[in-house]
Amino acid sequence: MLPVVILFFIFSATGEAYGTCWALWGSDAFHWNGLSIGLSLGAFGICQTLAQALLPGPAVKLLGERAAILVGVAGVSLALTVMAFAGQGWMIFAIMPVFALGGIGVPALQSLATRQVDENSQGQFQGVLASAVSLASIVAPLAFSSLYFLTRQQWPGAIWLSVVAVYGLAVPLVLGLRLKTAERAAMS
């Protein structure tokens, strides 16, 4: 159960980096104005919405929950790495569909999480997960904004590699998750 709570914290914390740093980074890296920043965030939102609406079910059926989570982490990590090194703003729009693959990870994790405890403990478990998400929403913006301001003069894109590093912490946790009966049956 603890690995799932930590994964929720990691996924929530990394998600906070976008809202905290995206506009500053777009302005610093590409001299984007408010319209360009808004368009990039809008494109990000549309891609995420479509991915979360259309991909998690088929991805979990095809890959299983653990692999779907890992594909989500891999897609986001690849996109963030491209963003870290991107030299032109159009590259960010081009990588959005890959970025959106991250949209399959959290729903797969949520599905897996509900089977980690019995029905009688669901409320308590969901409360613990909500607490982890709340803690991430407090700690992560402070951490990522501080790191951004330390690196923005030398390399604004460094912030995205720090997010990739945090996602990297999730990989061994995902690999170590115990599969419950439903996923074992789906993989047979």
Write out pLDDT tens, residues 144-164.
999 999 999 999 999 999 999
pLDDT the model gives residue 185: 46
Say how far apart CA 161 and CA 174 lie, in whole Å: 20
Q: Tell me 150's DSSP state.
A: H
Which of 123, 131, 136, 122 has its CA nearest to residue 170? 136
Condensed to tens digits (0 to 9), the pLDDT of residues 3-30 reads 999 999 999 999 999 999 999 999 999 9
Domains defined along the chain, listed by start: 2-176 (1.20.1250.20)
The residue type at 57: G
In terms of pLDDT, which residue wins out, 115 or 98? 98
Q: What is the mean pLDDT of the chain?
A: 92
Q: What is the pLDDT of residues 21-70, one digit of tens each?
A: 999 999 999 999 999 999 999 999 999 999 999 999 999 999 999 999 99
Question: What is the pLDDT confidence band of residue 188, given thresholds at 50, 70 and 90?
Answer: very low
